[in-house]
Amino acid sequence: MEVKRVAVLGAGLMGHGIAQVCAQVGKYEVNMRDIEQRFLDSGMTMINDSLARFVKKGTLNEEESKKVLGRIHATLDLEEAVQNADFVIEAVTENPTLKKAVLMDVGKFTPSTAIITSNTSSISITEIGAATGRPSQVCGMHFFNPPQLMKLIEIIRGLKTSDETVELVKQVSINLGKEAVLLKKDTPGFIVNRILSQALNEAVYLVAEGIATPEDVDKACELGLNWPMGPLKLLDYIGIDTDLFITEVMVKETGDPKFRPSNLLKQMVRANLLGRKTGRGFYDWTK
């Protein structure tokens, strides 16, 4: 099957970037859907800002930038977004109940041949696939933030995902200029988050126990481990609430206490100190 039109569900932190990559690199026609106009407006603003940076760097010219924007069609209507899509990428909030509700409707409205993928970072693809009514055509497609720059995509097959679906998702990933890794089993946290969640949590424990400041923990990892960004700054980019959700899923699904989140993470979520998106996390982003 040839993919020509992609539907991206969600215009937020990940969704707008995925939509941009699909239009800019994949040169697909993209329907970007969200539930409120302000979210669509914010997503389009972030896409415009990102394209402007590419133009400033000289990796894209003004004419190409306009063509990319011309391929992105924002809509509030889910049925309109997916009814003629060959390929769907769901990127709504990391909430199992919400994702399954959205994907249940996607299963009703998309063409019978469409492939449905989820950008979940931790939720079971088998569970998501069952909600659509066509689990053989459902696959995990986990992008990394920011999608415009990060090269990796984790492809996760559910229990009933077909080989044909996996191959098409691989091909789309290549068309988007990405490198893909394949998980043979549907496992909590996949590859990256299974490793990263423990490292991030340990960094939080170092701060919670008064062993080091966030700045020194980050400096140690950047200079000692050659990380491009320290773990606590990375948490502020990911969102403290998102990371807490992922770690809680890991504990619930695996039963392994090594994934248990620090109480400091829970306190920060209660205080709405979620990182960049609220202006404060381990760092002050309001300045």
**Structure confidence by residue, pLDDT tens digits, 204-239:** 999 999 999 999 999 999 999 999 999 999 999 989
Q: Two tokens at 28?
A: 């697909």
Average pLDDT over the chain, rounded to an integer: 94
Final residue before a domain boundary, out of 122, 149, 183 = 183
Same domain, 168 and 202: no
The answer to whether the beta carbons of residues 128 and 101 sit under 8 Å apart is no
154 is catalytic: yes
Residue 287 belongs to a domain: no
193 is catalytic: yes
Among residues 50, 122, 193, 201, which one is catalytic?
193
For residues 115-130, average pLDDT: 90
CATH of the domain at 207: 1.10.1040.10
| Residue 250 binned pLDDT confidence (cut-offs 50, 70, 90) | confident
Confidence check: pLDDT of 122 > 90: no
Residue 56 belongs to a domain: yes
Q: How crowded is the C-beta side of 75, counted as CA atoms within 13 Å? A: 16
Among residues 122, 154, 173, 262, which one is catalytic?
154
Among residues 119, 142, 201, 262, which one is catalytic?
142
Q: Which pLDDT score is estimated for 120? A: 87
Among residues 119, 121, 124, 197, which one is catalytic?
121
Q: Two tokens at 249?
A: 């899923």
Best CA proximity match to 213, nearest among 196, 230, 228: 230
Residue 286 belongs to a domain: no
| Residue 50 binned pLDDT confidence (cut-offs 50, 70, 90) | very high
**Spatial distance between the Cα atoms of 92 and 157, rounded to a whole number of angstroms:** 19
73 is catalytic: no
| Amino acid of residue 242 | T
Same domain, 143 and 33: yes
For residues 151-158, average pLDDT: 96
Split into its structural domains, the chain has a count of 2
Question: Which of 8-12, 172-176, 213-217, 249-253 has the weakest average pLDDT?
Answer: 249-253
Confidence check: pLDDT of 184 > 80: yes
Final residue before a domain boundary, out of 183, 215, 248 = 183
Residue 82 belongs to a domain: yes
| Amino acid of residue 31 | N
Q: Which pLDDT score is estimated for 207? A: 97
For residues 48-59, average pLDDT: 94
Residue 161 belongs to a domain: yes
